[in-house]
Amino acid sequence: MEAATMSRDKKARSEQSAQAATRKTASSLFGTDRSSDVPDSTVGVITHDDPVFTCRSVDVFYANKQAIFGVDLDIGRHEVISMIGPSGCGKSTFLRCLNRMNDTIAIARVTGRIELDGQDILDSRIDVVPLRARVGMVFQKPNPFPKSIYENVAYGPRIHGLARDRVELDEIVHTSLERAGLLKEVKDRMDQPGTGLSGGQQQRLCIARAIAVSPEVILMDEPCSALDPIATARIEDLIDELKENYTICIVTHSMQQAARVSQRTAYFHLGYLVEVDETDKIFTNPSHKLTEDYITGRFG
Partner 1 sequence: MTASTLLLFVALLSAAGFLLGRKRAFGIADAHGGVKSLHSLPGHYGLYTAIWVAVPALLLLIVWQSLEPAILSELVSRELPAEIQELPPERVGLIMNDVKNLVAGNFVSSAVSPEISEAAEHWLSLETTFRWIRTLLVAGLTGLGFLFAWRLIRPELRARNRIERVVRVALVACSTIAIFTTVGIVLSVLFESIRFFQYVPVTEFLFGLEWSPQTAIREDQVGGSGAFGAVPLFAGTLLIAGIAMLVAAPIGLMTAIYLSEYAPRAVRSVAKPLLEILAGIPTVVYGFFAALVVAPEIRGFGESLGLSVASESALAAGLVMGVMIIPFVSSLSDDVINAVPQAMRDGAYALGATKSETTRQVIFPAALPGIVGGLLLAVSRAIGETMIVVMAAGLSANLTANPLEAVTTVTVQIVTLLVGDQEFDSPKTLAAFALGLVLFVATLILNVIALTVVRKYREQYE
Ligand X SMILES: Nc1ncnc2c1ncn2[C@@H]1O[C@H](COP(=O)(O)OP(=O)(O)O)[C@@H](O)[C@H]1O
Q: Where along the sequence are the contacts to ligand X (CB under 6 A)? A: 62, 67, 85, 87-93, 105, 107
DSSP character at residue 236: H
Q: How far is the CB of 95 from partner 1 (least distance, A)?
A: 11
Residue 160 interface partner, choices partner 1, ligand X, Mg ion, none, CB cut-off 5-8 Å depending on type: partner 1
Residue 89 binding result from Mg ion, partner 1, ligand X, none, given CB thresholds of 5 to 8 Å by partner type: ligand X
Over 94-135, what HEC string results? HHHHCCCHHHHCCCEEEEEEEEECCEECCCCCCCHHHHHHHE
**Pattern of binders to Mg ion over 64-103, x per CB under 5 A?**
----------------------------x-----------
Least distance to Mg ion from the beta carbon of 92, Å? Answer: 3
262 binds Mg ion (CB under 5 A): no
233-245: b (≥16 Cβ within 10 Å) or e: ebbbebbeebbee
Measured from the CB of residue 211, what is the shortest distance to Mg ion in angstroms?
Answer: 22
User: Which residues contact residue 104 at a Cβ distance below 8 angstroms, ignoring those fewer than 6 apart?
Assistant: none
Total residues found in the chain within this entry:
300
d(CA 63, CA 220): 25
**What is the closest distance, in whole angstroms, from the C-beta atom of residue 196 to Mg ion in the complex?**
27
The minimum distance between CB 83 and ligand X, in angstroms, equals 8
Q: 149-185 in b/e burial notation, b at 16+ Cβ within 10 A?
A: bbbbbbbbbeeeebbeeeeebeebbbbbbebbbbbeb
Task: Provide the binding-site residues for partner 1, judged by CB under 8 A.
Answer: 99, 101, 104, 106, 128-133, 136-137, 139, 141, 143-147, 155-156, 159-160, 195, 206, 209-210, 213
Nearer to ligand X (CB atom), residue 89 or residue 219? 89
Which option in partner 1, ligand X, Mg ion, none does residue 88 bind, with CB closer than 5 to 8 A by kind?
ligand X
51's contact among partner 1, Mg ion, ligand X, none, with CB below 5 to 8 A by partner kind, is none
> Which of partner 1, Mg ion, ligand X, none interacts with 21 (beta carbon under 5 to 8 A by kind)?
none
The nearer residue to ligand X, 158 or 253, going by C-beta atoms, is 253
Which one, 62 or 155, has the nearer CB to Mg ion?
62
Pairing type for strands 272-278 and 264-269 reads antiparallel
- Closest approach, Cβ 35 to Mg ion, in A, equals 27
Q: Is the dihedral of CA 56, 266, 46, 213 positive or negative?
A: negative
Q: Considering CB distances under 5 to 8 angstroms, the limit depending on partner class, which of partner 1, ligand X, Mg ion, none binds residue 90? A: ligand X
Q: Look at residue 145 and give the partner it binds from ligand X, Mg ion, partner 1, none, a contact being a CB closer than 5 to 8 Å depending on partner kind.
A: partner 1
Cα dihedral 244, 201, 227, 140 sign: positive
Burial of 199 per CB tally in 10 Å (0-12, 13-18, 19+): middle
**Looking at residue 190, what DSSP letter applies?**
T
- Per the CB < 8 A criterion, the answer to whether 82 and 261 are in contact is yes
Q: Which does 87 bind (CB under 5 to 8 A by kind): partner 1, ligand X, Mg ion, none?
A: ligand X
Instruction: Work out how close the CB of 91 gets to Mg ion at its nearest, in angstroms, rounded to a whole number.
Output: 6
Closest to partner 1 by CB, 43 or 116: 116
Question: Residue 281: how many CB atoms within 10 A of its CB?
Answer: 16
Interacting residues with Mg ion (CB under 5 A)? 92
